[in-house]
Structure 1
Amino acid sequence: MNKDFAVIGLGRFGGSICRTLAELGKDVLAIDLNEERVNEFSTIASHAVSGDSTDEAMLRSIGIRNFDHVIVAIGEDIQSSILTTLILKELGVRNVTAKAQNDYHEKVLRKIGADHVVHPERDMGIRIANNMASNNVLDYLALSDEHSIVEFVASEKIGGRTILDLDIRKKYGVNIVAIKRGSQIIVSPQAKEVIQANDVLIAIGNDSDLDKFERKVIQ
């Protein structure tokens, strides 16, 4: 089923979402107060509108409640972000994702009904820090405050051994959900799968268990 998206706020974050959705062939409505930004995205998005998203009448006039997913990507104006999110939920928008500037902003957004809240700057900072802190970590994605998905590069130390030999799940509480080997991706690898040096192991688990797994097995 094709979904219709609306992106409110065409700064760096919102603009990136709008471009990517358009490249994926999705119908996207781009909304911003700044007419220059709207003109820029008029050739990228399916439609582009200049307007104040805190104006309920304006949102009604463009039929915002008919969109499957609305992304509130408003930058530093926290008040506008909160008010826009509140109006969208009151109008009956099914899925609203809102960008938060800080933890307090997130709490307010969740209280007024935002379905998803993202911290793009904070999350990117965490990913970059984790990548820089270890030569064995290729990528990092937090799933919650305590659980993450991490891409580890398999060292020579574990090359030639199977997942069963290493007893990864029992010893470390970590699940290997996939292995990337060159252009090949092995999804849900079997216990007898032989790990090769330089394989990329995609692991999911508690942060402390993932850290222990890296120290004891990967390094």
Structure 2
Amino acid sequence: MKDIVVIGLGAFGFTVAKELSSKKMNVLVIDKDEEKVENISDSVMQAIIGDATDIEVLKNAGVQNFETAIVSVGDDIPSSIIITLNLKELGLKQVIAKAMNDMQARALRRVGADKIVFPERDSALKLAESIANPSIFEHIELSPDYGLMEVKAPRRFLEKTLSELDVRKEYGVNVIAIKRPNVEISEEGKTIMKENVIIAPSGNEKIKEGDIIVVVGRYEDLDKINRL
């Protein structure tokens, strides 16, 4: 089980802390705002009121016993830098810091942040992508060159098997899963829409109307699929 420190309980930090806690991780949160700390105290392992720019506050909270911390005070640039410095001085192996812009990201990396996240920018890009390409249901960056994409199966794929399509050869991507809608009738006679997920589908699997295919590949190759 992982132990995580989340510093800063804005919308991003609050959501991350609750989500990690719901996944059975031990979460310690720290924020100066008493009301925010009280609001989350029942959802996490421990919630502390304190100023994380003071290294003594972090020491008293036992932060040095954790391996990973998330710094979610991106809108307060000086504080985010000081907190990151404090965490690295205490020996944390992984510090993930929220940044508002590239300049802040560079400063955070310089003082030791191991990973930078841009929640607002990423959300904006995701929204723009969903508007520009409504057939794309999910797009996840795996590395600077590779990504994962969930996309409505192109019409030319329908009623063909994966072997017939040979998408790896034709488009340079791998189909790692298929999401297929499934209609069931309840005992009360109500129609229930469910989703079957076929993981690592075989070459004999036939693509059907309504399928969503999950593909992995280089971004330029994913774009080929999106343009079909």
TM-score (norm 1): 0.91
Q: How many Å apart are 1:151 and its aligned residue?
A: 0.5
Q: 1:199 to 1:9 in 2, by over 3 A?
A: same
| Deviation readout 1:178-214 (Å, 9 max, x if unpaired) | 1112332222222332111211111112222111122
| CA–CA separation in structure 2 for the residues paired with 1:156 and 1:172 | 15
Quote the Cα distance in structure 2 between the aligned partners of 1:32 and 1:210: 41
Mean CA deviation greater in 186-195 or 169-178: 186-195
TM-score by length of 2: 0.88
Q: Which moved more, 1:46-55 or 1:104-113?
A: 104-113
Where does residue 196 of structure 1 map in the other structure? 208
Q: Deviations over 1:38-67 (max 9, x none)?
A: 122222222111111111111111110112
For the 8 Å contact 2:179–2:197, the answer to whether it is kept is yes
- Residue type at the aligned position of 1:121: E
Gaps of 5+ in 1: none
Whole-angstrom distance in 2 between the partners of 1:156 and 1:209: 18
In the TM superposition, 1:164-203 aligns within 5 A as 164-182=163-181, 183-203=195-215
Task: Check whether the contact 2:27–2:46 (CA below 8 A) recurs between aligned residues.
Answer: yes
Shift of 1:8: 0.2
Q: Which moved more, 1:188-197 or 1:12-21?
A: 188-197
Q: Which runs of 5+ in 2 are unaligned?
A: 182-194
Residue-pair matches, total = 215
**3-state secondary structure, aligned to 2:208:** coil
Report the counterpart of residue 222 of structure 2 in structure 1: 210
SS at match of 2:157: coil
Offset of 1:86 from its aligned partner? Answer: 1.4
Deviation larger for 145-154 or 49-58: 145-154
User: C-alpha root-mean-square deviation of aligned residues, in Å?
Assistant: 1.6
In 1, the alpha carbon distance for the partners of 2:203 and 2:110 equals: 44
Query: How far is the alpha carbon of 1:68 from its aligned partner?
Result: 3.0
Q: 1:137 Cα shift?
A: 0.8
CA apart distance, 1:118: 0.9
Q: Offset at 1:111?
A: 2.6
Identity of counterpart residues, as a percentage? Answer: 41
Residue 127 of structure 2 aligns with which residue? 128
The CA distance in 2 between the partners of 1:26 and 1:64, in whole Å, is 15
Q: What displacement does 1:169 show?
A: 1.1
Shift of 1:92: 0.5
